[in-house]
Amino acid sequence: MTTPYARIGGEATVAAIANRFYDLIDRDRAYADLRAIHAADLRAVRHGLTRFLAGWSGGPRDWFERGQCIMSLHRAFPITAGLADQWSAAMTRAIKAQPGIDPQLAAAMADALGHMARGMINLSLDQNAA
């Protein structure tokens, strides 16, 4: 069975998706709230997302071999449903922008990653207002 990593084009495509994602949140005001929780310099998170996506999609697992948990890493950030939706929308756009990815695979990846983003919600609007 071929991995999604191989099917989408491997490292170059994974890096392009991660870079497109961070370009979107850095430049598109639709993702302003998401951008606000990131440091000014996005180089480290661009690299980290590339490594995460590589392993997550069936490629090199160096990010996972460091013993990190994606959920734990994000627990310190106040993640609302709106913020998770921004992340999911930007990731969906980044995946769909890559030429040559099978549309069904792109949709499946975007859906799975969106589900992960929603699993990180740790702040409701009611909590934020209090």
Can you tell me the distance from the alpha carbon of 103 to that of 48, in angstroms, rounded to the nearest whole number?
25
**Residue 74 gets which letter from DSSP?**
H
125 belongs to a structural domain: no
23 belongs to a structural domain: yes
Statement: the pTM of the whole predicted model exceeds 0.85? yes
Indicate the number of domains in the chain: 1
**Residue 30 gets which letter from DSSP?**
G
List the pLDDT tens digit at each of the 130 positions of the chain. 799 999 999 999 999 999 999 999 999 999 999 999 999 999 999 999 999 999 999 999 999 889 878 888 888 889 999 999 999 999 999 999 999 999 999 999 999 999 999 999 998 865 555 4
CATH number for the domain spanning 57: value is 1.10.490.10
Q: What number of residues does the chain have?
A: 130
